[in-house]
Amino acid sequence: MSVDPLAEYTEEELLKALYGRTTGNTWRLEEYQPYKFQEAFHDAGSDASQRLLMAANRVGKTFTGAAEAAMHLTGLYPEWWTGRRFDKPILLWACGSTTETTRDIVQAELLGEPNDPSAEGTGAVPKHTILSSERKPGVPNAKGSALIKHISGGNSQLVFKSYEMGHEKFMGKSVDYIWLDETPPQDIYTQCLARTVATRGSLCMTFTPEGGLTDMVRQYLNDLKPGQALIRATWDDAPHLDENTKKQILDALPPHERQMRSQGIPMFGTGLVFPINPADFTCEPFPIPEYWPKVIGMDLGWEHPTCAIWSAFDPDEDVIYIFQEYGESKRTPEEHARHIKAMAWANVPIVIPHDGNRRTGLGNPAIRDQLTEAGLSLELQPFRNPISLGEKPYGKGAASVEAGIMFMLERMKDGRLKIFTSCQKLMEQLAVYHRDPKGTGKIIERFDDYVDAARYSVLSVQERGRAFKSDSRWDWEKKLSYPALGLV
C-alpha cells in the first residue's frame, strides 16, 4: 500500500511551502487584486469556453491574461476565484503577433523580463514552479517553452507561439488552454478553436482592436454565441489611470485613434450610424433644472441588459440632454425598479416598447404591470416609432426606426442633442452602432440596448416628459409686484 507523504498537510500549508517567498523572488500574482472588469473576465470562464477582453490601452488587459494563465499552469487559485479551474497539469499556448512581441510582452508578463536572467520568476508564474525552459532558436532571449510545476504533483507545459509562424504551426495538437494576446488572424483563430475541442479546453483573447472591425470582432459584437463572453474595459475602468495621465495620452494621439485606444472601440471607417466626433455632442454633467420636462426610455431584456436612459428637454434653447443611464442583465422587474428608484429623477414617466405590455407565456403579468406594481411611473401607451417620410400613419412600414435615428442624428449634428460624458455605456454602443457592411443599408441590431433606450427617451421627452416645477419666469399666477418709484 502506498502512502501519500503530503496527506497530513492542509492545502494552505502546502501552498505556503510550495510558493513561499524568498529574498529576491517577487511573484506578481501574489498581490493581484483584480479590477471589476478583470474579475468579470475571469468569472466568465466558468461558463464560457471562448472569451474576449476587448479593452483600451494601458488598463492591464495583458496581465489579466497572464494572471489567469499562471493560475491554470500552477493550479494555484486565490480565495476569490470563481472562474474555471484545472485540477491537473495542462498544455497551454501563450501567443502574440510576432516572435519579438511575444517575447517582450507575453513572455515578460508570464516569466519576467526576458533580457535579465535574474528576473525569471518575477512575472505571473512563481519562480519556484518554473522547472525548466527552452530557448527559441534565432531570437535572442526568447523562450519556446517552459515546464511549470502544478500543485497536483505533475508538470504543465507552457508553449509560446506567434501569429507570424502561420496557421500551419497551430495545427494538429489538442490543447487545454490558449491565450491570444492581440487580435489574431481569422485562420489562426479558427485553428485555435479546433485545438480546444477534444480537450473541452478554453480559448481567451486580450486585445485593443487596432485591426478594426475584423470578422471575429464583428461576430463578438453583433452575434455572440452560446459559450462565448465579451468583456469591455475603458480607461474609466482602470483606477490606476488618473485624469492627468489620461489627458496627456489622449492629447498625444491622432484624433481618429482616440476612441479605440481610450475605450477599446474598433475603428469602423465606414458604416457607422452616428459618424460624428463625440466631442461635438457630449458635455460635462450639470444639475438639470426642475422645470425641464424629463422622461425615461427603457429597453427590456434578460440575457441582454434591461436599459434605462433619462432625457430632459430645454425649451428655451430647443436642446435635448441625455443625462443618466442604467443597465443590468438577468434581473427581475422588481430588482430593476429597486435600482432605478435609488437614482435621481426616478419618478419621471417611463416609456417602454410594446412588447412590455404582453403577458408572459407562463401567465405572469406583463413587464409593464410588474414595473408599475414595483413603484415606477410607466406610461400607459407604449413607445411608437415616428412615421416614415411619405408614409401614411398606418399599415406596413408606417412606423420607422430609421426616422427616429435620423431625428437623433440631425440633432447631434446641429448641437440640439447632447449626452453627458457620464453616460459611458451609451457612448460605447453609439461608437459601434453600424450598418450592414455588405451594402444593404440595414442597421445591425446587436449591442444596441442602450441605443434603443436612448431613442425611446429622446423621441418621447417633448411629448411625454414631465416638469416638476414651472419656470418662475413664466409663472403668470404669482402676484405681480411693482417697485416703489415715488410717482403719483
Q: Find out whether 150 and 88 touch, Cβ atoms under 8 Å.
A: yes
| DSSP assignment letter at 360 | P
User: Smallest Cα–Cα separation from 36: which of 68, 62, 59?
Assistant: 59
Q: Find out whether 223 and 446 touch, Cβ atoms under 8 Å.
A: yes
Domain borders along the chain are 25-256, 268-464
Helix%, strand%, coil% for the chain, nearest 5: 35, 20, 45
Domain 268-464 fold: Nucleotidyltransferase; domain 5 (3.30.420)
Count Cβ neighbours within 10 Å for each residue of 197-223 and write b for 16 or more, e otherwise.
Answer: eeeebbbbbbbbbeeebbebbbebbbe
CA dist., res. 27 & res. 44, Å (int): 25
| pLDDT given at position 179 | 98
CA dist., res. 343 & res. 422, Å (int): 14
Give me the mean pLDDT over the 388-404 stretch: 57
Give me the mean pLDDT over the 2-28 stretch: 45
Q: Find out whether 384 and 390 touch, Cβ atoms under 8 Å.
A: no
- Residue 250, burial from CB neighbour count under 10 angstroms (0-12, 13-18, 19+): middle
| DSSP assignment letter at 79 | T
Which residues, 6+ apart, have CB-to-CB distance to 392 below 8 Å?
398
Residue that has been written with the C-alpha cell 487545454 in this structure: 176
CA dist., res. 483 & res. 481, Å (int): 7
Q: Which three cell numbers stand for residue 412?
A: 447631434
Helix (H) or strand (E) holding 100: helix 99-101
Give me the mean pLDDT over the 88-94 stretch: 97
Predicted confidence (pLDDT) at residue 479 exceeds the cutoff of 90:
no
Cβ–Cβ contacts within 10 Å for residue 104, how many?
17
- Max CA separation in the chain (angstroms): 120
- Residue 433 pLDDT grade (very low, low, confident, very high; cuts 50, 70, 90): confident
CA dist., res. 394 & res. 378, Å (int): 25
Predicted confidence (pLDDT) at residue 397 exceeds the cutoff of 50:
no
- Residue 344 pLDDT grade (very low, low, confident, very high; cuts 50, 70, 90): very high
Q: Find out whether 165 and 93 touch, Cβ atoms under 8 Å.
A: no
Considering only the top CATH level, what class is 25-256?
A: alpha beta
The most confident of 162-171, 424-433, 437-446, by mean pLDDT: 162-171
The whole model's pTM is what? 0.62
CA dist., res. 400 & res. 305, Å (int): 23
Q: Do the strands 306-314 and 143-149 form a parallel or antiparallel pair, or are they unpaired? A: unpaired
